[in-house]
Structure 1
Amino acid sequence: MPYNDNIVQELNVLNLFSLNSTQEGIKVHSSAKPEVIAATQRLYDKGLITQTDGGYLTPLGHDAAEHSQTLLTILNTENRQPIS
C-alpha cells in the first residue's frame, strides 16, 4: 500500500515530537495549515497522541514516531553500500 497525502502529513506531525523525553509535547495552533490540523486530529483519533491539537505521544504513538523518525533518517542517508 503506497503512502497517500494523509499518511505523509501524519508522519510529518509525528516527526515533530521529541523522542528524548515523554514530557515534551507539541501544540498545533488554529492558525496552522489545515492539513496539519487534520493530520493531528487523525493521530488523536487513532490513539497516537493525547490531545486533538497535539499534546503528548501515547505509548503506541511513541513507537510510531520512533519508526517514522528512523525511516526518515535511513532514507535521508546518502552513503550506503549497494546490495551485492
Structure 2
Amino acid sequence: MPFSPVHLAELNLLLQFPSTSTQEGIKVHASSAAAETVQAAESLFEKGLISRNDGGYLTPLGCEAVELTQKLQAVLASE
C-alpha cells in the first residue's frame, strides 16, 4: 500500500516535533497552517500520537513514531 497524501502530511508533521525532549511541543494554527497540516494534527491526535488535536506534545507512542519516521527519512535520503 503506497503512502497516501494524508500519511505523508502526518509523517511531515511528526518530523516537526523536537526529538530530543518530550517537554517541547508544537502548535498548529488552524488560521495559518495548510489544511492538510491541520488535518494531520487531528489525525495524529485521534491515533494517540500527540496530546492535542492542534499539536501539543508527543505521547510515548508518538515518540516512537517520530524515531521511526526519522530513521525512514535517513534511509531514503542516503545516497
The bucket for the TM-score relative to the shorter chain is over 0.9
Per-residue CA deviation, residues 18-48 of structure 1 (Å, 9 max, x unaligned), is 1101111000112100010000000000000
- Cα root mean square deviation, aligned: 0.6
Aligned length: 78
Are residue 10 (structure 1) and residue 10 (structure 2) matched? yes
Decide which structure has the larger Cα Rg and report it.
1
The sequence identity of aligned pairs, in percent, is 51
Runs (5+) with no aligned partner, structure 2: none
Runs of 4+ deviating beyond 2 Å: none
How many Å separate the matches in 2 of 1:66 and 1:23? 16
**1:51 positional shift:** 0.5
The secondary structure found in structure 1 opposite 2:75 is helix
Runs (5+) with no aligned partner, structure 1: 79-84
**1:71 positional shift:** 0.5
In structure 2, the residue matched to 1:75 is 76
How many Å separate the matches in 2 of 1:67 and 1:40? 18
